[in-house]
Amino acid sequence: MEKKTLGILGGMGPMATAYLLQLIIEMTDAKTDQEHLDVLVFNRPAVPDRTAYILDHAQPSPLPLLTQTAQTLERLGAGCLCAPCVTSHYFYQELSGAVGIPFVNMLTETAAELKSLGKRRVGIMATTGTVRTGLFQSALDGVGLEAVLPSPECQELVMALIYDEIKAGKPADPGKFQRITQELFDAGCDSIVLGCTELSLIKKSAPLPPGCLDALEVLSKRCVQLCGGTLNPAYHNLLT
């Protein structure tokens, strides 16, 4: 398979984008520089907040800047695109239709990964924008999986982890994370999706409990495969 240059619509947030690039490098089975993928990263933190717009359309829309970014990456030679921001997939149809190259859908890829692992009842940790628009619920339903959402109180804790801590450059509170995951497992979930790329960064400060799947890791795995890289065998199963 001929290698394709990967284009990343980044900056949502910046650290999650940097972590995606790290994951792509780690997940590529390469012994020389030349065996790694060519990657174009357009780090664009100026993109308006996705959740703010989804919850209130009077807020600035991220779509114009996202579309411009995608088209710029295509012009620069990207043969495949991805966006390491789950909530930005609210605009997936418009973005994929604005370019002539494949655009990896992190939600459907994550749902397919869970299905392949035999999971049935999936807890979702994501922004309120992602939750209210049913992005992950629809993706999971499309492969016959049941989605379970945190209680309103725990959803507030999810947003606090994402916005008050990780996006603010502070360490994530492991107590908040443990409370949310325990509630979801107590509700009968056999797995939990880290459905916001900021939540992926929690692994840097604390180990995840068994049964968690990081959507950013799924995105990285699929980008390596779709762009013609060789997947490191250690990453065939991404579930903790």
Q: Supply the DSSP string of 4-67, one letter for each residue.
A: --EEEEE-SSHHHHHHHHHHHHHHB--SSGGGSPPEEEEE-TTSPPHHHHHH-TTSPPSHHHHH
- Beta strand 80-82 with 39-43: parallel, antiparallel or unpaired? unpaired
In whole angstroms, give the CA distance from residue 105 to residue 81: 9
- The pLDDT-based confidence of 61 (bands split at 50, 70, 90) is very high
Domains of the chain (ranges plus CATH)?
6-105+218-235 (3.40.50.1860), 107-215 (3.40.50.1860)
Residue numbers annotated as active site = 85, 196
Full-model pTM: 0.94
In the chain, % of residues over pLDDT 70: 100
* Residue 240, pLDDT score: 87
Angle in degrees, 0-180, between the axes of helices 152-159 and 174-186, rounded to the nearest 10: 150
Mean pLDDT of the chain: 95
Q: Listing from the earlier edge strand, what are the strands of the sheet with 191-194?
A: 146-148, 121-125, 191-194, 212-214
* 19: nearest Cα among 157, 160, 205: 205
DSSP lists the bridge partners of residue 237 as none
How do strand 6-10 and strand 121-125 relate by DSSP bridges? Answer: unpaired
Q: What average pLDDT score do residues 109-129 get?
A: 96
214-226 residue pLDDT tens: 999 999 999 999 9
Identify the pLDDT of residue 239. 87
CA distances from 177 to 24, 110, 184, 192, 197 (A): 25, 20, 11, 12, 15
Q: What is the pLDDT of residue 189?
A: 98
Query: Is residue 113 very low, low, confident or very high in pLDDT (cuts 50, 70, 90)?
Result: very high
